Amino acid sequence: MGMNSGQLRILGLIHPTKPLSIWQQKEIHDTLPHFFQQGLLMSQPFKTIGVVGKFAAPTVSSALCQLGRYLRTKTVTVKLDAETAAVWPNHGFDVADHHEMATSCDLIIVVGGDGTFLGVARALGEVNDVSLVGLNLGRLGFLTDISPDRTEEKLDQILKGAFLEEDRFMLHCTVSRKGEVISRSCAFNDVVVHKRDVARMIELDTFIDDTFISTIHADGLITATPTGSTAYALSGGGPLMEPELNVVVLVPICPHTLSNRPIVVCADSVTKIEVKGKENDEAQMSCDGQVGQALVPGDIITISKHPSVIRLIHPADHNHFHILRAKMGWS
> CATH no. for residue 147?
3.40.50.10330
Closest by alpha carbon to 185, among 271, 115, 125, 95? 125
- Amino acid making up residue 12: G
Rounded to whole angstroms, how far apart are CA atoms 147 and 159? 17
pLDDT tier at 208, thresholds 50, 70, 90: very high
DSSP 89-122: TT--SEEE-HHHHHHH-SEEEEEE-HHHHHHHHH
pLDDT band at 43 (very low <50, low <70, confident <90, very high): low
Same domain, yes or no, for 35 and 145? yes
Phi/psi region, residue 266 (left: phi>0; alpha: psi -120 to 50; beta: rest), is beta
| 51 belongs to a structural domain | yes
Between 90 and 132, the more confident residue is: 132
| 261 pLDDT tier (thresholds 50, 70, 90) | very high
Q: Which residue has the higher pLDDT, 272 or 30?
A: 272
Is 264 part of a structural domain of the chain? Answer: yes
Half-sphere exposure of 190 toward its Cβ, with a 13 Å CA cutoff? Answer: 25
Give the chain's count of helices (H) and strands (E). 8, 19
User: Is 213 among the domain residues?
Assistant: yes
Q: Check whether residue 253 and residue 158 sit in a common domain.
A: no
Same domain, 146 and 29: yes
| pLDDT one-digit tens code per residue, 122-173 | 999 999 999 999 998 867 678 988 988 899 999 999 999 999 999 999 999 9
pLDDT at 9 over 80: no
The region of weakest confidence among 49-63, 64-78, 125-139, 316-330 is 49-63
Mean pLDDT of the chain: 86
Q: What is the pLDDT of residue 140?
A: 63
Our count of domains for the chain comes to: 2
Q: Which range, 54-63, 188-197, 298-307, is most confident? A: 298-307
60 pLDDT more than 90: no
Give the CATH number of the domain where residue 182 resides.
Answer: 2.60.200.30
**3 domain-assigned:** no
Q: Flag whether 88 is in a domain.
A: yes
Q: What is the pLDDT of residue 141?
A: 74
Residue 189 and residue 320 share a domain: no
Rg value, the chain, Cα: 21
Residues 26 and 162 in one domain: yes
| Angle, in degrees to the nearest 10, between helices 22-38 and 151-159 | 80
pLDDT of amino acid 29: 52
Q: Which residues are catalytic?
A: 114
- Residues 206, 299, single domain; the answer is yes
Are 103 and 188 within one domain?
no
Q: Give the model confidence (pLDDT) of 177-206 as tens digits.
A: 999 999 999 999 999 999 887 678 899 999
192 closest CA partner among 156, 155, 238, 158:
238
Is pLDDT at 278 greater than 60 in this prediction? yes
pLDDT class of 282 with cuts at 50, 70, 90: confident
Same-domain pairing of 124 and 261: no
What distance in Å separates the CA atoms of residue 301 and residue 184, rounded to the nearest whole number? Answer: 10
Rounded distance between C-alpha atoms, residue 155 and residue 139, angstroms = 21
Let me know whether 71 and 207 are in one domain.
no
Say whether both 213 and 242 belong to one domain. yes
Residue 72 lies in a domain: yes
pLDDT confidence tier of residue 280, bands split at 50, 70 and 90: confident
Within a domain: residue 1?
A: no
- Summarize pLDDT for 12-25 with one digit per residue, the tens: 334 434 444 444 44
Parallel, antiparallel or unpaired: strands 48-53 and 163-177:
unpaired
Q: Are residues 143 and 125 in the same domain?
A: yes
Shared domain for 237 and 160, answered yes or no, is: no
* pLDDT for residue 35: 45
* 153 in any annotated domain: yes
The residue segments making up the domain with residue 36 are: 8-168+309-328
- What is the structure's pLDDT at 76? 95
Residue 3 has pLDDT above 90, yes or no: no
